[in-house]
């Protein structure tokens, strides 16, 4: 696959390609009706691209793909408050996944994905408590934890399948 | 299957167990803490400070409250967001809440509504 290469141009192309893919996924997900009545519960399918980048690429490229998507999706959606939640969740999620990525690879990538999803919801919840100013909204946490485990496993298993289909070690 | 793959496969089980246990605890938490209150009230917070507290008993006819960012419908024993200014209107889709501790959060509007039980009523039952 012509996806390898470590020149500056190859990296820029790769980052741009993955960011575009993530933006499309996040846009399509945004068109779907909310899954549940509880706010903040969604599949987060665009995070599959971030997970792929974290699993297969260097830290800098992974950070670029992850944060560029969050920032651009925030600009396209044009909602400042939602953007704060996305960025808070995204930053915590990225930090946790980068810390744990050496421990959970291959057939265990879905575990990394679940930890990322849990971290994402924790970061979002922290921002929500700060903005709404009420600790009681932490009662949403149990629902968010269950959702993170389901959504995280799903996106994680998806990325595992993609990586094994593309061929291990031949991707980047 | 290579030895590494086999080892990886086995090493998933602790995490499967961990996530299943966490989900079970969360499900229990969601089911509990919903004890029916006596004489409930709805506390409405906007931007973190108490905006209004309305009784949910003796409501003979439903009425609406204009909030910055939405409209709240108050009925006997229940509240619901009738309209919200945010695009996704998740709080409207949530519908009516009735139980003590149940809450509606409208993140874009910074609105937080929680149903609280009347202390005296609870004492009347437990005492």
Calculate the CA A89 to chain-centre distance: 9
Distance CA A136, CA B26 (A): 16
- Report in angstroms the alpha-carbon separations of B36 from B39, B117, B121: 10, 8, 11
Judged by a CB distance cut-off of 8 A, whether residue B1 touches chain A is: no
Distance CA B53, CA B112 (A): 12
**Which is nearest to A56 in space by CA: A108, A90, A8, A105?**
A105
Nearest-by-CA chain B residue for A103: B8
Of B23, B47, B94, the CB nearest to A133: B47
Judged by a CB distance cut-off of 8 A, whether residue B5 touches chain A is: yes
- Separation in Å, CA of A10 to nearest CA in chain B: 31
- A72-91 tens-digit pLDDT: 999 987 778 888 989 999 99
How many CA atoms, within 13 angstroms, populate the side-chain half-sphere of residue B114?
19
Tell me phi and psi for residue A157, to 5 degrees: -65, -35
- Does this complex have an ipTM over 0.90? no
- B52-106 tens-digit pLDDT: 888 887 788 888 998 888 899 998 888 999 888 888 788 888 888 888 778 898 8
- Separation in Å, CA of B122 to nearest CA in chain A: 20
Q: Is the pTM of this model over 0.80?
A: no
Contact B105 A39 (CB under 8 A): yes
Contact B26 A143 (CB under 8 A): yes
């Amino acid at each position: 696959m012509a996806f390898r290469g470590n020149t500056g141009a190859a990296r820029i192309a790769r980052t741009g390609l993955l960011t575009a893919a993530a933006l499309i996924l996040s846009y399509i997900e945004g068109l779907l009706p909310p899954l549940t009545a509880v706010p903040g519960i969604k599949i987060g399918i665009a995070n599959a691209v971030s997970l792929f980048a974290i699993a297969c690429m260097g830290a800098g490229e992974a950070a670029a793909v992850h944060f560029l998507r969050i920032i651009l999706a925030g600009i396209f959606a044009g909602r400042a408050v939602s953007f704060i939640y996305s960025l808070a969740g995204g930053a915590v999620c990225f930090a946790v996944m980068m810390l744990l990525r050496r421990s959970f690879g291959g057939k265990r990538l879905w575990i990394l994905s679940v930890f990322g999803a849990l971290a994402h919801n924790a970061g979002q919840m922290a921002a929500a408590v700060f903005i709404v100013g009420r600790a009681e909204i932490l009662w949403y946490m149990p629902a968010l934890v269950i959702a993170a485990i389901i959504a995280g496993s799903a996106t994680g298993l998806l990325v595992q399948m993609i990586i094994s289909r593309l061929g291990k070690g031949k991707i980047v | 299957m290579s030895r590494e793959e086999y080892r990886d496969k086995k090493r998933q089980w602790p995490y499967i167990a961990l996530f299943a246990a966490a989900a079970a605890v969360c499900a229990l938490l969601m089911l509990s803490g919903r004890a029916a209150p006596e004489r409930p009230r709805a506390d409405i917070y906007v931007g973190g400070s108490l905006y209004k507290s309305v009784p949910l008993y003796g409501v003979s006819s439903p009425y609406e409250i204009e909030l910055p960012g939405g409209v709240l419908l108050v009925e006997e024993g229940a509240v619901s967001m009738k309209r919200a200014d945010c695009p996704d209107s998740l709080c409207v889709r949530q519908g009516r809440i009735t139980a003590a501790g149940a809450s509606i959060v409208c993140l874009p509007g910074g609105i937080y509504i929680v149903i609280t039980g009347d202390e005296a009523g609870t004492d009347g039952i437990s005492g």
